[in-house]
Amino acid sequence: MKNSPKISNGVKIPESKNLRYTKTPFDYFEPREKVEPAKCVLESFHSQDDRLELHFKNGTHAHIEASNLQGGIEIDRIEQKLKDFIGKSYEDILEANF
C-alpha cells in the first residue's frame, strides 16, 4: 500500500506536524484570559470527528485537532490514552509520548 498513512511508534503533541493544538488553555467567556498549562488539571474530554475538546477543573478549555489524515490516526491514539490523564495537567499531556 504505497499511499497508506504511516503509523509511528509515538508522538508528542507539540512535535507533531499533523496536529493543531491550543498552546495555552482559555476560558470561553474570557478568551484573552489564558492560564499556564501546568495549572490546568484535566477534568474531562470529548471527541468529535478528528478533534478533542479538553475541559479543565479551573474552567478553561483546550483542543487538539488533526490537520491531515495522519493527524486523524494520532488523534485516535491520543483519545485512547487520554482517560489516563484525568487529574493530570495539560503540561503533562503535552509532554507525554502517545
**Nearest-angstrom CA–CA distance, 32 and 92:** 23
Residue 51 lies in a domain: yes
Range(s) of the domain holding residue 52: 13-23+36-95
Q: Specify the number of domains making up the chain.
A: 1
pLDDT in tens, the chain (98 residues): 344 444 446 789 999 999 999 998 887 767 666 789 999 999 999 999 899 999 999 999 999 999 999 999 999 999 999 999 999 999 999 999 99
Residue 41 lies in a domain: yes
Residue 2 lies in a domain: no
Residue 52 lies in a domain: yes
